[in-house]
Amino acid sequence: MPKISMTDFVDFVVKAGSPKMTKVRQVRDRGGYNPAHDFWRLFRNDIVEFHQNGFRDKKRFDRLLGKLTDHKKQKRYPEAIKGYKKFLGRKNIEWFTPPKELWSHSGLDVRVNPELGLVINGDRFIIKLYFKDEKLTKYKVPVIGALMISALASECDDSDKFAILDVSNSKLITFEDQVADVMPLLAGEAYSFISIWDAL
């Protein structure tokens, strides 16, 4: 039974035609998680550490810039760090541990693992971080929301809000209860993913 990231599944869902097969092959051939291939790991871990330890000084993130040796990271990290610092602004923020679960259908397991559980000005948010340069489209947002709500709602308080943070653009997008509208699509796409996986 394949176990894949939510990012990979969302990328598969929004593709059409032969790029779907290309995506499945890419996921299958890549193998398990390798930290060396995780472009945003340093910054993502720093964000989590920042909140877990209750740090307040946003300049702490600038430390990362001096540690970067990869040219691509030197080019892309500054904008993301600037965006996250802008998102933080003057908000009163406290940490809680976000839930992590599997969403499973048709023999496919999708890891739903939001990075942040933040109480922001009194409201609890469960947040998935989005770092890609590729625009966060109106097609991706409801898919991400449905996966998070479907997989995690039973582990959360009724008042918890699910969201995705477009880091570079400092934009926090909260989801309405979109599960009912999107679930038939996700079920069909999971079946399609497995069919292609088995055929390759």
Q: What are phi and psi of 165, to 5 degrees?
A: -105, 115
pTM for this prediction: 0.93
154 within domain boundaries: yes
Print burial letters for 63-73: b (CB count within 10 Å at least 16), e (below 16): ebeeebeeeeb
Beta bridge partners of 126: 117, 162
* Confidence check: pLDDT of 193 > 90: yes
Alpha-carbon distance values, 79 to 72, 89, 166, 168 (Å): 12, 15, 12, 6
- First CA to last CA across the chain, in angstroms? 14
64 within domain boundaries: no
128 within domain boundaries: yes
Q: What angle do CA 59, 61, 62 make, to 5 degrees?
A: 70
Domains: count for the chain: 1
79 within domain boundaries: no
60 within domain boundaries: no
Taking only the tens place, the pLDDT of each residue in 172-189 is: 999 876 667 898 999 999
69 within domain boundaries: no
- Mean predicted confidence (pLDDT) in 3-18: 95
In sign, the C-alpha dihedral spanning 184, 190, 194, 199 is: positive
56 within domain boundaries: no
63-72, 77-86, 123-132, 185-194, range with the lowest pLDDT: 63-72
Domain range holding 160? 3-39+90-199
Banded model confidence at residue 69, pLDDT cuts 50, 70, 90:
very high
Taking only the tens place, the pLDDT of each residue in 142-154 is: 999 999 999 999 9
